[in-house]
Amino acid sequence: MTKFETQLTPAEKRLLESLDSPVKIQAFLNATPYSEDEFYRCPLRVLRERKAHCFDGALFAAMALHRIGHPPLILELIPNARDDDHILALFKRYDHWGAVAQSNFTGLRYREPVYRSLRELVMSYFEDFFNSAGEKTLVGYRGPINLKVFDRLEWMSSDTGLETLSTDMDRYRVLPVITSEIAADLAPLDERSLRAGLMGANEAGLFKVH
């Protein structure tokens, strides 16, 4: 964190100091255009370029949450083969979990800290976790992952180690939330919910369903 802070301009420090709650961090991400880029941006680059996809946004949120006293925790939502994964930044209040996230989908962003377990939190995303064809795709999750174990990669201020960070996350065990039998029997999303979930989406950043 110290090295990251030394690279901030006075204006950037003032902006980050204004993000003094999870809600304000989420508001910053809501105002940040969704990135269709296939490369990763570190939090410092997100701050300067104001563009982020879910991985970038989760790291930014983890950094911002860490600045206000939370451990820098993330969690990965795991889909089937017909969708992208999704990354959340986690926080706790009154011993309950909440989340901050950047997403191309309306329903995959903020969660109030009202969930007693991580599985409860994960399942709050289930109905909103679908691809552009309207198929519900969430099958599991991995985490929490404490980003402090990746501090050697300078993940807050450098893009260089982010591919390594992403790859190393795969070592964490995936916890399933549904069986293959349940997954095969899920109802498709109705058209109105699909339109609502994709409202304002950057089409170039959507998973290409074939």
Tens digit of pLDDT for each residue in 156-167?
999 999 999 999
> Nearest-CA neighbor of 177 among 104, 94, 77?
77
- Percentage of the chain beyond pLDDT 90 is 98
Whether 129 and 77 have beta carbons less than 8 Å apart is answered as yes
Domains and CATH numbers, the chain: 2-199 (3.10.620)
Tens digit of pLDDT for each residue in 123-135?
999 999 999 999 9
- Tell me what the mean pLDDT of segment 1-15 comes to: 91
Between the two ends of the chain, the Cα-to-Cα distance in Å is 42
Tens digit of pLDDT for each residue in 88-121?
999 999 999 999 999 999 999 999 999 999 999 9
- Whether cis (ω within 30° of 0) applies to the bond prior to 72 is no
Query: pTM of the predicted model, to two decimals?
Result: 0.96
Residue found under tokens 């986690």:
90
CA angle 9, 46, 24 (to 5 degrees): 85
Rama region for 37: left / alpha / beta (φ>0; ψ in -120 to 50; rest): beta
E strand segments, the chain: 73-79, 86-93, 96-100, 111-115, 138-146, 175-176
CA angle 76, 47, 23 (to 5 degrees): 60
Residue found under tokens 């998973």:
207
Give the model's confidence band at 1: pLDDT under 50 very low, under 70 low, under 90 confident, else very high. Answer: low
pLDDT at 144 over 70: yes
pLDDT at 2 over 80: no
